[in-house]
Chains A and B, each alone.
Chain A
Amino acid sequence: MPSITKPLATHPTAQRNQLGLTIRDYEGSMSTLCAGCGHDSITAAIVRALWEQSTPPHRIAKLSGIGCSSKTPTYFVNGAHGFNSAHGRMPAIAAGAIAANCDLTYIGVSGDGDSLSIGLGQLSHAIRRNLKMVYVIENNGVYGLTKGQFSASADLGSKSKRGEANRMAPIDPVRLGLSLGATFVARSFSGDKEQLVPILRAALSHRGFALIDVISPCVTFNDHNGSTKSYLHTRRYSRQLVESDFVPHADEIVADITSAGTTAVKMHDGSTVMFRSVPADYDPTDRAKVSAYLDQHQKDGQILTGLLYIDGESPDVHEMNRTSATPLRELDYSKLCPGSAALDALQEDYR
């Protein structure tokens, strides 16, 4: 029995979401990743977040590049649309899809190699454009699919499986995002769904580009002693900086918003992100302060996690470009293609 199947059973008390679907309705095909890969846990978190959000499966578009991480869209929401692009080129595909159909929920899944090595330029512009999508970087510090070479996120001094240390400075996607004007920046850990699922739900409600860097150990090539992206190292050094709760509807908020250490950020769709136990000098809506805080506290090797920065006010790609509020496929042919007379008139303008 070379490939083992997953029985169709559901727990007899399995709950249903607003669409009447169980969580199993959001599953995809069986994973072919190595057993124990962090990526599979992130997949499970995405499944849960989408189910909890009651996002209709057929209104989801899954996008990815190349890598073990980029294979994972196959493993969630079988009923969704999907596009598996060339290595590092997912943001370009996403930009096109989002421009054509503003109505879908876009989930991009990428790796540290896919986004920070070959695809860094693509990622940068996706951030700048504030594409309305969730962008998950499954960060394991290596090129898992090609057998464990260091990626651009490998920490200085982190050791490969053979024992050699990385000598190049890492690119930190969180700081990259902050410096490029990202409007939603978070970091989490595949082994902490209690934190990751609410972050994913907030990201799904965010109007704009939601960048989530998820440390996701590669059990096969980067889970040894000396690795800074192993399960053990991440558990030892990660510190939850801010605790964030996702509250689907504003009226459900019970906490006292004014109390010290609590901040509420309203999302465009009426939901709220509640920040609790935020350090005194930390404001998740102040880009400069967040950057400064990270500069100060990340020096000692700590991995700070949580929904670190959020800006719900900046215009997203559609507002910036004043695109049609109607998906292109729903426009009349005559509107979509106004004819050669209209083209002539337009060109006349440029003479």
Chain B
Amino acid sequence: MGPRAGPLWRGTLKTNDVSHPDYFHKVVDCQWACPAHTNVPEYIRLIAQGRYADAYMKNRESNVFPAVLGRTCDRPCEPACRRGRIEEQPVAICRLKRVAADLKGDISDMLPKAPEQNNGKRVALVGAGPASLTVANDLRPLGYEVTIFEKQSKPGGLMRTNIPSFRLPESVLDEEVANIINMGIDIRYDSPVTSFKSLLAEGYDAVFVGSGAPRGKDLDIPGRHDSDRIHIGIDWLESVAFNHIDSIGSRVLIIGVGNTAMDCCRTSRRLGGTEIKVMARRPRGYFKASPWELDDAEEEGIDIVINHAPKRFVVENGVLKGMEFDRLEWDAEARKSKTVETVFIAADDVILAIGQENAFPWIERDLGIEFDQWEVPIVDETTFESTRKSVFFGGDAAFGPKNIIWAVAQGHEAAISIHNHCQGVPATDRPPQGMNLISQKMGISEWSYHNDYNPAHRQKMKHVDLEERFRQLNVEVEVGFNLEQTAREAQRCLNCDIETVFVPKKCIECDACIDICPVQCLTITRDSEEAELRTRLSAPATNLDQALYASEALPQTKRVMVKDEDVCVHCGLCAERCPTAAWDMQKFNLLIQYAGTSCTT
């Protein structure tokens, strides 16, 4: 069904032109926050209906790796979730994604396929991480001949080499990667690109660099090179993933407290470490690791030691004894510190997990591909094109280490650019997003969605017990939601995509909507500029991140209808109680553009 013609209504506030998809998109907080704009409420409803395969495919449209992400995603959607603004905890969006993936059954018929005929264009991708795989996923069905060059013997990038198998089982990754590669991607393993110049000489129509940020940062303090028991985190994890390392000393220090540190300490726990300390420079609250990762590590008996800055490695006769740290005292904002004392902590192994950076020793610097002062390539933030036409970057390789969902989102954008480029359209010609708004009214007091939500608290993920999980490295810790938890959690969603849409000329100002709204979102009042208007509403509108939806003058009194989007629970009661259907509940569907989808607006 095509979108309706023209704006349904136009706000008086500059900020809220509701004819632009961004207005209603922003109301769907989770979808807006997701780099790939996954249609979260729609897939949660599909899960609630038991339509797991459809829910999986809805995910796959935008995020390509639902089963992987359902276990590992950084979940930018969850802190944004509206439920977190009316109750403490957001919907467990990520966990529900995993449910869809676990229960989807056979979806082979629903997957994209390569066409019978190729389109005659050849594209090379460097690296088989999520960024490149997304590009392949988008371009192969359009008939591109896609070749991937991968340094390792297996595909997946850091998803395989660094994310430990107790968080992401290998079989789960294998399946989703195979769904792409089996479309007829020519993937060459154990084939590191060592000269970009020679690759370019092979005459591809476009080249995408998705080689990640492969270099772990080192810590150059005294003693660093005096022992072979000091490891770089991402390299060490990779060696574990490929079974080159299967043990570690009993006392392990992890330097740094980001995501990599969490995987290093938990992996150490499984390889023989018994006294494992994660050493943080700063106090709690300033860590890079996600709170749930910290919880999981602490559950496994890992010690998180705050306010310790590494000073030197203590190595005696070539044997690592431990490390010296400055114990710090911080000011209130943890900006300035002073050293209180120097302490020694004994260790058999030390793992450095203090960050990663890009490294492109294999890209010659005379190819027209410009790099900045930090040796990072200059890449356009919209098209992902480098300074050399036909060469594109995406994922960690483009803007430094982020996460899988960003790599996917950038892969989609780069695929559009590559497609444009190969079809002779400028990469900057981005097809605009569109939207559909479809009324959900089915009859008197009948709506196509369930307007009430489950007041239950967020469901807790069950974990395999400690003994069992340490038995073997690849025992998946999280067991996934059971059906009851799934039902409860799915019903916690507020259906933010079922949006309130207002037609001012129908309103008779009876106040019914204002009176019924359980969270006082609505006000009919005299118009004024936004800042002042925000102070005169039924409930104070203090969350400036959230838009006001303000109408043009109402017919009877010339006042305006104002809605504060902040805590609307999408219950539909305003529309239900409106005698003239001036308010309606309409399902918002963002029409995201991918390579090759023609714009329907």
Say yes or no for A190: interface residue by CB 8 A criterion.
yes
Say yes or no for B228: interface residue by CB 8 A criterion.
no
Q: Which of A24, A35, A36, A37 has the most CB of B within 10 A?
A: A35
Say yes or no for A106: interface residue by CB 8 A criterion.
no
| Residues B510 and A38 in contact, CB atoms below 8 Å apart | yes
In the assembled complex, the Cα of A116 lies from the Cα of B178 at a distance in Å of 80
Instruction: Tell me the smallest distance from the CB of B410 to a CB of chain A, in Å.
Output: 35
- CB contacts (< 8 Å) of B572 on chain A: these are 4
List the one stretch of B34-42, B447-455, B544-552 in contact with chain A.
Answer: B447-455
B window 549-600: CB within 8 A of A: 556-557, 567, 569, 571-573, 576-580
| Residues A1 and B445 in contact, CB atoms below 8 Å apart | yes
Say yes or no for A334: interface residue by CB 8 A criterion.
no
In the assembled complex, the Cα of A219 lies from the Cα of B509 at a distance in Å of 11
Say yes or no for B520: interface residue by CB 8 A criterion.
yes
| Residues B576 and A35 in contact, CB atoms below 8 Å apart | yes
Instruction: Tell me the smallest distance from the CB of A225 to a CB of chain B, in Å.
Output: 13
| Residues A1 and B447 in contact, CB atoms below 8 Å apart | yes
| Residues A7 and B510 in contact, CB atoms below 8 Å apart | no
Total contacting residues, chain A, CB less than 8 A: 34
Contact with A along B509-536 (1 / 0, CB 8 A): 1111011101110000000000000000
| Residues B445 and A190 in contact, CB atoms below 8 Å apart | no
A window 1-54: CB within 8 A of B: 1-14, 24, 31, 34-38, 40-41, 43-44
Instruction: Tell me the smallest distance from the CB of A222 to a CB of chain B, in Å.
Output: 13
Instruction: Tell me the smallest distance from the CB of A45 to a CB of chain B, in Å.
Output: 9
| Residues A7 and B452 in contact, CB atoms below 8 Å apart | yes
In the assembled complex, the Cα of A14 lies from the Cα of B519 at a distance in Å of 8
- CB contacts (< 8 Å) of B542 on chain A: these are 13
- CB contacts (< 8 Å) of A309 on chain B: these are none
Say yes or no for A257: interface residue by CB 8 A criterion.
no
Q: Which of B512, B573, B576 has the most CB of A within 10 A?
A: B512
In the assembled complex, the Cα of A193 lies from the Cα of B579 at a distance in Å of 19
A35-B578, A40-B512 known; A6-B539 Cβ under 8 A: no
Total contacting residues, chain B, CB less than 8 A: 36
Say yes or no for B540: interface residue by CB 8 A criterion.
yes
Say yes or no for A297: interface residue by CB 8 A criterion.
no
Instruction: Tell me the smallest distance from the CB of B371 to a CB of chain A, in Å.
Output: 48
In the assembled complex, the Cα of A31 lies from the Cα of B509 at a distance in Å of 18
- CB contacts (< 8 Å) of A6 on chain B: these are 452, 516, 518, 571, 573
| Residues A1 and B446 in contact, CB atoms below 8 Å apart | yes
Say yes or no for B20: interface residue by CB 8 A criterion.
no
In the assembled complex, the Cα of A121 lies from the Cα of B480 at a distance in Å of 70
Say yes or no for B508: interface residue by CB 8 A criterion.
yes
Say yes or no for A167: interface residue by CB 8 A criterion.
no
B window 420-469: CB within 8 A of A: 445-447, 450-453, 455
- CB contacts (< 8 Å) of B86 on chain A: these are 9, 12
A190-B511, A191-B511 known; A4-B445 Cβ under 8 A: yes
| Residues A219 and B455 in contact, CB atoms below 8 Å apart | no
| Residues A36 and B577 in contact, CB atoms below 8 Å apart | yes
Say yes or no for B217: interface residue by CB 8 A criterion.
no
Across the interface, name the chain A residue whose C-beta is closest to B576: A4
A1-B447, A2-B445 known; A8-B515 Cβ under 8 A: no
| Residues B512 and A3 in contact, CB atoms below 8 Å apart | no
7 extra interchain contacts, Cβ-Cβ under 8 A, other than A9-B519, A13-B542?
Answer: A6-B516, A9-B86, A9-B569, A11-B539, A13-B540, A31-B577, A36-B510
What are some 6 contacts across the A-B interface (CB < 8 A)? A12-B85, A12-B86, A12-B567, A13-B539, A44-B515, A235-B557
